[in-house]
């Protein structure tokens, strides 16, 4: 049965799988972002506790920017994946016949965020495994001679440490972004595969008539036109029947049927006899 083409084109494949990988990425990125924010809050609390433990005239400076910068970038990337998933999941559910533009936006967005997550998580993991917070004690504007000893004494008394890999909440802030990256990467691979297949299967708009029939010359089934060869004989591709021309102005020749009620003349018009 003839159907008009869909307004949004053919339905892309793996509809349910695309929804599933988006929800999976959404869950892991929510967990990663939550643990990232929790680590930032707890780190600020530990800094304030250490600063309160040092009495004047000593002044303590705590430098953790080497870990905070990639940590914040990782958390921002997780929030962007969450936003993209929250937009894409309802759109994929309620608009299953997506356009090429929407699939391209989702695939490129997931690819960019996957690369972002990978870069920041690798940097964060390297710093977590090899570095520590730089804590310095100043007295009267000068670095205290026994600064490192004073720092370790204060940290031990408070039950804290400046070595990143020994801090439990930082460990969680490192582990969950890796799961978020794997989930986002799987979604990226699936969406790119669907996009490539969809672009290959998308009908060529130049090969369609205004009524949606294909006019491709490869099939010759619809839209093909007969043509005359050099001998004036009509040729039709793929064994189709040539249309028969009929001239209504030409006289009809041959035997003309007659009936008991009348006689037909030479032009085929029957004349009724009235007794």
Query: Is the confidence at residue 202, as pLDDT, over 80?
Result: no
Same domain, 127 and 178: yes
Evaluate whether residue 239 is within a structural domain. Answer: yes
User: Taking 80 as the threshold, does the pLDDT of residue 107 lie above it?
Assistant: yes
CA distances from 271 to 114, 232, 255, 266 (A): 89, 40, 16, 11
Residue 90: pLDDT over 70:
yes
Question: Are residues 136 and 213 located together in one domain of the fold?
Answer: no
> Is there a single domain that holds both residue 97 and residue 155?
yes
pLDDT at 226: 53
Is 191 found in the same domain as 94? yes
Write out the chain in H/E/C secondary structure: CCCCCCCCCCCCCCHHHHHHHHHHHHHHHHHHHHHHHHHHHHHHHHHHHHHHHCCCCEEEEEECHHHHHHHHHHHHHHHHHHHHHHHHHHHHHHCCCCCHHHHHHHHHHHHHHHHHHHHHHHHHHHHHHHCECEEEEEECCEECCCHHHHHHHHHHHHCCCCEHHHCHHHHHHHHHHHHHHHHHHHHHHHHHHHHHHHHHHCCCHHHECCCCCECCCCCCCCCCCCEECCCCCEECHHHCCCCCCCCCCCCCCCCCCCECCEEECCCCCEEECCC
pLDDT at residue number 267: 56
Paired strand residues for 61: 136
Domain check: are 212 and 105 in the same one? no
Q: How far apart are CA 184 and CA 85, in angstroms?
A: 10
In a domain, 159, yes or no: yes
Number of domains in the chain: 2
Does 6 reside within a domain? no
- Same domain for 166 and 222, yes or no, is no
- As a whole number, mean pLDDT of residues 7-29 equals 79
140 and 72: one domain?
yes
Residues 6+ apart with CB under 8 A from 157: 53
Domain presence at residue 266: no
pLDDT of residue 81: 96
Does any domain span residue 236? yes
- 67-91 mean pLDDT: 93
In a domain, 267, yes or no: no
Q: Which residues, including other chains, have CB under 8 Å from residue 261's CB and lie 6 or more apart?
A: 272, 273
**Shared domain check, 217 and 110:** no
Pairing of strands 227-228, 142-143: unpaired
CA distance 183 to 116: 14
Find out whether the peptide bond into 57 is cis, omega within 30 degrees of 0: yes
pTM, full prediction: 0.66
pLDDT at residue 223, as a whole number = 47
- Asked if the structure places residue 1 within a domain, the reply is no
Residues 117 and 192 grouped into a single domain: yes
Same domain, 213 and 236: yes
198 and 221 in a common domain:
no
- Whether 110 and 103 have beta carbons less than 8 Å apart is answered as no
> Tokens 């990425």, residue?
25
Q: What is the pLDDT of residues 143-169, one digit of tens each?
A: 888 888 888 888 888 888 889 999 999
Residues 30 and 128 reside in one and the same domain: yes
Domain boundary among 150, 182, 202: 202
Q: Which domain holds residue 46?
A: 15-202
Last residue of a domain, one of 180, 202, 224: 202
Last residue of a domain, one of 152, 171, 202: 202
Whether residue 264 is contained in a domain is answered as: no
């Amino acid at each position: 049965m003839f159907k008009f083409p869909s307004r949004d084109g053919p339905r892309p494949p793996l509809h349910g799988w695309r929804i599933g990988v988006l929800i999976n990425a959404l869950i892991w990125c929510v967990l990663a972002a939550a643990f990232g924010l929790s680590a930032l809050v707890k780190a600020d609390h530990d800094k304030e506790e250490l600063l309160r433990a040092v009495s004047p005239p000593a002044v303590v400076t705590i430098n953790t920017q080497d870990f905070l910068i990639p940590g914040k970038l990782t958390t921002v990337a997780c929030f962007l994946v969450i936003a993209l998933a929250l937009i894409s999941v309802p759109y994929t559910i309620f608009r299953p016949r997506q356009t090429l533009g929407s699939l391209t936006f989702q695939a490129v967005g997931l690819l960019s965020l996957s690369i972002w997550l990978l870069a920041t998580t690798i940097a964060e993991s390297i710093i977590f495994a090899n570095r520590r917070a730089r804590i310095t004690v100043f007295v009267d504007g000068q670095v205290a001679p026994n600064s490192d000893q004073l720092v370790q004494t204060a940290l031990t008394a408070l039950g804290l440490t400046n070595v990143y890999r020994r801090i439990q909440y930082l460990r969680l802030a490192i582990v969950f972004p890796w799961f978020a990256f794997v989930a986002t990467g799987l979604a990226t691979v699936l969406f790119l595969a669907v996009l490539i297949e969809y672009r290959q299967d998308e009908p060529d708009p130049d090969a369609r008539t205004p009524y949606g029939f294909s006019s491709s010359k490869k099939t010759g089934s619809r839209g093909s036109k007969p043509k005359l060869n050099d001998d004036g004989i009509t040729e039709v591709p793929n064994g189709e029947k040539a249309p028969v021309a009929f001239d209504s102005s030409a006289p009809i020749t041959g035997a003309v049927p007659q009936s008991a009620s009348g006689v037909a003349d030479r032009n085929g018009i029957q004349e009724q006899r009235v007794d």
